[in-house]
């Protein structure tokens, strides 16, 4: 039986990682991820979690240590944020290409400069093409549920890929919420032991991370890409199994009051819950609008995205990251390209906002929807709108 507990989200992640009986945690503390690794260090030091805690000297080393640990078949967890995720960037590609099942919580943070410890999705978007499975979450419960699911997805023999669970820095990482913490019995029932098929083993020598000359590189990358695309069915299966044990459902794209709406708002991460309240208010004002939220960022859920938007006339998107000098929001631009082949597709109005911890409150989202509807009628010379910039 899960226990309803009032707990900080970061601490709850540590508790769930403890329940998975992780073998190795290699991490470097960085705001706003710090409480996650601090709590895990405590659990290891007081004997509650029998794991190796490797207090590395940088995030580059953290991810490198995770490679080695996952390669011997150890259940491996790490966490980072913002600049830390950037510092481990080159190793992220190695983890996915070597098909190592590492689970990482990312407390999403803006990138410097100017120096910001506050939340947005700049760090997420910089890792978009690293080959990791990436999941967005909206509240503490979703964070811990998906952390648990991430281990099962990553370690499944049909997948064998690293997984990032994104939680908004501060808005989620430092929030104290009532959550249903799973019991050891439930976790054991849901999560089978990690059995990496080709672990480093002196009695069966093998070489990992070899070089790939031009004659095999293309084949190696395609094998990896095929596998990432194919992981989709296992991801769905894991969420289904999760729902059987815990009764909570997750899917790649989730809708809130969307049925029959001609106008849809699209968000990801913790802002989605604020957006839901805005949707309720707008519906009370007689504006026919629903909300679609992105859960699975990679592999990108093309079918679900097309299905969610196929009957809409106006789609208003909010990205919390900027593709500098480009089309604005990275997620919005992918949505547009996913919709392009459809014969009938909505007009897309893209907003970029909520950068570097800037809040968007309920009335902010109401304003965004109204402005989006207006732009859809009048048109705009801009590729996207910067939301909330003081002129």
Partner 1 sequence: MAKSESELTWKDIEVGCIATEPGSAARYKCGDWRSQRPTYDFNKCIKCGLCQIFCPEGCIYQNEKGHFEANMYYCKGCGICAKECPTKVITMVEEEETDVNKNGD
Binding site for partner 1 (CB under 8 A): 97-100, 160, 197-198, 205-210, 212-213, 215-216, 218-220, 222-223, 226
User: Among 109, 112, 63, 114, which residue's Cα sits nearest to residue 89?
Assistant: 63
User: Among 164, 81, 167, 173, which residue's Cα sits nearest to residue 129?
Assistant: 164
Smallest distance, Å, CB 155 to partner 1?
13
* Residue nearer to partner 1 on the CB measure, 200 or 287: 200
Smallest distance, Å, CB 70 to partner 1?
10
Please tell me the distance from the alpha carbon of residue 259 to that of residue 151, in angstroms, as a whole number.
Answer: 33
* Residue nearer to partner 1 on the CB measure, 209 or 326: 209
Smallest distance, Å, CB 220 to partner 1?
5
3-state secondary structure of 314: strand
355, two tokens: 């950068």
* Residue nearer to partner 1 on the CB measure, 82 or 101: 101
* Residue nearer to partner 1 on the CB measure, 224 or 251: 224
Is residue 179 within 8 A of residue 5, CB to CB? The reply is yes
Smallest distance, Å, CB 137 to partner 1?
28
Q: Which residues contact 266 (CB under 8 A, 6 or more apart)?
A: 291, 292, 293, 294, 315, 316, 317, 318, 331, 332, 335
Other C-beta atoms lying within 10 Å of the C-beta of residue 196: 19
* Residue nearer to partner 1 on the CB measure, 99 or 298: 99
* Residue nearer to partner 1 on the CB measure, 48 or 225: 225
Smallest distance, Å, CB 132 to partner 1?
14
* Residue nearer to partner 1 on the CB measure, 213 or 341: 213
Smallest distance, Å, CB 69 to partner 1?
15
Is residue 95 within 8 A of residue 162, CB to CB? The reply is yes
Diameter of the chain measured on Cα atoms? 70
Is residue 90 within 8 A of residue 5, CB to CB? The reply is no
Smallest distance, Å, CB 161 to partner 1?
10
User: Among 213, 187, 203, 361, which residue's Cα sits nearest to residue 274?
Assistant: 361
- My answer on whether omega of the bond before 14 falls inside 30° of 0, hence cis, is no
State the residue for tokens 């960037």: 89
């Amino acid at each position: 039986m899960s226990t309803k507990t009032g707990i900080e989200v970061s601490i709850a992640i540590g508790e769930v990682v403890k329940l998975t009986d992780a073998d190795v945690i290699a991490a470097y503390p960085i705001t706003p991820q710090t409480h996650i690794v601090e709590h895990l260090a405590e659990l290891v030091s007081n004997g509650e979690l029998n794991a190796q805690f490797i207090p590395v000297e940088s995030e580059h080393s953290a991810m490198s240590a995770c490679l080695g640990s996952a390669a011997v078949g150890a259940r491996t967890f790490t966490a980072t944020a913002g600049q830390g995720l950037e510092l481990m960037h080159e190793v992220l590609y190695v983890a996915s290409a070597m098909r190592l099942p590492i689970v990482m919580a990312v407390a999403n943070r803006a990138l410097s400069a100017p120096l910001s410890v506050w939340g947005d999705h700049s760090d997420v978007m910089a890792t978009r093409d690293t080959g990791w499975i990436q999941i967005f979450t909206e509240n503490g419960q979703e964070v811990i549920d998906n952390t648990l699911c991430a281990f099962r997805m990553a370690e499944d023999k049909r997948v064998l890929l690293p997984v990032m669970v994104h939680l908004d820095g501060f808005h989620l990482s430092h929030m104290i919420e009532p959550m249903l913490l799973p019991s050891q019995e439930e976790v054991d029932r849901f999560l089978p032991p990690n059995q990496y098929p080709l672990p480093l083993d002196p009695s069966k020598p093998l070489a990992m991370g070899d070089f790939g000359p031009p004659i095999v590189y293309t084949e190696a990358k395609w094998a990896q890409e095929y596998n990432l695309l194919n992981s989709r069915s296992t991801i769905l299966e894991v969420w289904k199994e999760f729902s059987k044990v815990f009764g909570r459902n997750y899917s790649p794209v989730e809708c809130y009051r969307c049925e029959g709406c001609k106008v849809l708002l699209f968000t990801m991460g913790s802002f989605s819950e604020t957006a839901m309240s805005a949707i309720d208010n707008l519906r009370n004002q007689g504006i026919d609008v629903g909300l679609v939220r992105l859960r699975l960022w990679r592999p990108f859920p093309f079918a679900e995205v097309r299905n969610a938007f196929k009957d809409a006339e106006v789609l208003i998107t909010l990205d919390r990251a900027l593709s500098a000098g480009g089309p604005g929001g990275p997620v919005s631009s992918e949505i547009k390209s996913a919709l392009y082949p459809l014969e009938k597709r909505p007009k897309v109005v893209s907003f970029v906002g909520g950068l570097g911890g800037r809040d968007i409150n309920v009335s902010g989202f109401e304003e965004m929807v109204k402005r989006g509807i207006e732009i859809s009628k009048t048109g705009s010379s801009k590729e996207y709108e910067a939301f909330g910039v003081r002129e």
